[in-house]
Structure 1
Amino acid sequence: MTSHYDLVVVGAGPAGESAAQMAANLRYSVALVERDTVGGAVVTSGGAPTKTFREAALYLNGFEKEAIYGISLAAPPEVLFRPLTTRAHEVSAAMQQATLDRLQTFGVHLVAGSARLEDGHTVLVRSTTGEETRLHGERIILATGSRPLRPASVPFDDPWVFDTEEIMEISGRPRHILIVGGGPVGVEYATIFQALGVPVTIVDTAPQLVAMMDEEISARLEQVFRRRGTEVITGTGMASTQRDGDQLRTILTDGRELRPDALLFAAGRSVDVTALSLDTAGIEIDERGRVVIGERGQTSCPSVFAAGDVTGPALASIATDQGRQAVCGAFDLNFSVHVDRLPASAVYGMPEVARAGMSEQDCKSAAIAYEIGRCELGSTPRGLIAGEEGLLKLVFRREDGALLGVHVISQIASELVGTGQAMIHGSATIEDVLRMAYSTPTYTYGYKLAGLDAMLRFDPDVLRSMRLPSEADRV
Structure 2
Amino acid sequence: MEKYDLIVIGSGPGGYVTAIRASQLGRKTAIVEKAELGGVCLNWGCIPTKALLKSAQVFEYLNHASDYGITIQGKANADFSAIIKRSRDVAAGMSKGVQFLMKKNKIDIIQGTGKLTKDKKVEVTGADGKKTTYDAPHIVLATGARSRELPNLPQDGKKIIGYRQALTLDKQPASMVVVGSGAIGSEFAYFYNAIGTKVTLVEYLDNIVPLEDEEVSKQLATSFKKAGIDVMTGSEVTSVDTSGTKVKVTIKSKKGKEEQIEADIVLSAVGITPNIENIGLEEAGVVVEKGRVKVDEFYRTSVPGIYAIGDIVPGQALAHVASAEGIICVEKIAGHNPEPLNYNNIPGCTYTSPEVASVGYTEKAAKEAGYELKIGKFPYSASGKASAAGQKDGFIKLIFDAKYGELIGAHMIGANVTEMIAEIVVARKLETTGHELLKAVHPHPTMSEAIMEAAAAAYGEVIHL
The aligned residue for residue 181 of structure 1 is: 180
Given the superposition, is the C-alpha separation of residues 271 and 72 from structure 1 closer, same or farther in structure 2, using an over 3 Å criterion? farther
Q: Once the 2 structures are TM-superposed, how far is the Cα of residue 278 of structure 1 from its aligned partner? A: 1.7
C-alpha separation in 2, matches of 1:318 and 1:447: 24
C-alpha separation in 2, matches of 1:98 and 1:413: 27
How many equivalent residue pairs?
A: 456
Aligned counterpart in structure 2 of residue 456 of structure 1, from 451, 457, 460: 460
Alpha carbons 2:297, 2:340 under 8 Å: kept? no
Task: State the percentage of identical aligned residues.
Answer: 26
Q: Describe the superposition over 1:304-347 as per-residue Cα deviations: whole angstroms up to 9, x where unpaired.
A: 11111122461111111111122234444314554554011110
Aligned counterpart in structure 1 of residue 357 of structure 2, from 354, 357, 374: 354
Aligned counterpart in structure 2 of residue 308 of structure 1, from 307, 310, 316: 310
Given the superposition, is the C-alpha separation of residues 74 and 5 from structure 1 closer, same or farther in structure 2, using an over 3 Å criterion? farther
Given the superposition, is the C-alpha separation of residues 29 and 280 from structure 1 closer, same or farther in structure 2, using an over 3 Å criterion? same
Q: Which amino acid aligns with 2:295?
A: I
Say yes or no: does 1:139 pair with 2:142.
no
C-alpha separation in 2, matches of 1:75 and 1:203: 35
| 1:54-133 map, 5 Å | 54-62=53-61, 65-66=64-65, 68-69=67-68, 73=72, 79-133=78-132
C-alpha separation in 1, matches of 2:328 and 2:269: 29
Alpha carbons 2:204, 2:235 under 8 Å: kept? yes
| 1:336-355 map, 5 Å | 337-338=340-341, 341-355=344-358
Alpha carbons 2:177, 2:265 under 8 Å: kept? yes
C-alpha separation in 1, matches of 2:454 and 2:66: 27
C-alpha separation in 2, matches of 1:341 and 1:96: 31
C-alpha separation in 2, matches of 1:74 and 1:98: 39
Say yes or no: does 1:266 pair with 2:265.
no
C-alpha separation in 2, matches of 1:240 and 1:330: 49
C-alpha separation in 2, matches of 1:256 and 1:388: 35
C-alpha separation in 1, matches of 2:24 and 2:340: 15
C-alpha separation in 2, matches of 1:355 and 1:341: 11
Given the superposition, is the C-alpha separation of residues 72 and 316 from structure 1 closer, same or farther in structure 2, using an over 3 Å criterion? farther
| 1:406-445 map, 5 Å | 406-445=410-449
Given the superposition, is the C-alpha separation of residues 75 and 150 from structure 1 closer, same or farther in structure 2, using an over 3 Å criterion? farther
The aligned residue for residue 245 of structure 1 is: 244
Please state whether the residue corresponding to 2:32 is helix, strand or coil: strand
Q: Give the alignment's TM-score, normalised by structure 2.
A: 0.93
Q: Which of 345-354 and 270-279 deviates more?
A: 270-279
Q: Which amino acid aligns with 2:282?
A: D
Q: Once the 2 structures are TM-superposed, how far is the Cα of residue 152 of structure 1 from its aligned partner? A: 4.1
Alpha carbons 1:7, 1:140 under 8 Å: kept? yes
Alpha carbons 1:178, 1:201 under 8 Å: kept? yes
The aligned residue for residue 154 of structure 1 is: 153
Q: Describe the superposition over 1:193-241 as per-residue Cα deviations: whole angstroms up to 9, x where unpaired.
A: 1210111100111111111111101110000011112111111211111
Alpha carbons 2:205, 2:235 under 8 Å: kept? yes
5+ unaligned residues in a row in structure 2: which ranges? none
Alpha carbons 2:344, 2:360 under 8 Å: kept? no
C-alpha separation in 2, matches of 1:441 and 1:287: 48
The aligned residue for residue 370 of structure 1 is: 373
Q: Once the 2 structures are TM-superposed, how far is the Cα of residue 436 of structure 1 from its aligned partner? A: 1.2
Q: Once the 2 structures are TM-superposed, how far is the Cα of residue 426 of structure 1 from its aligned partner? A: 1.7
Say yes or no: does 1:402 pair with 2:401.
no
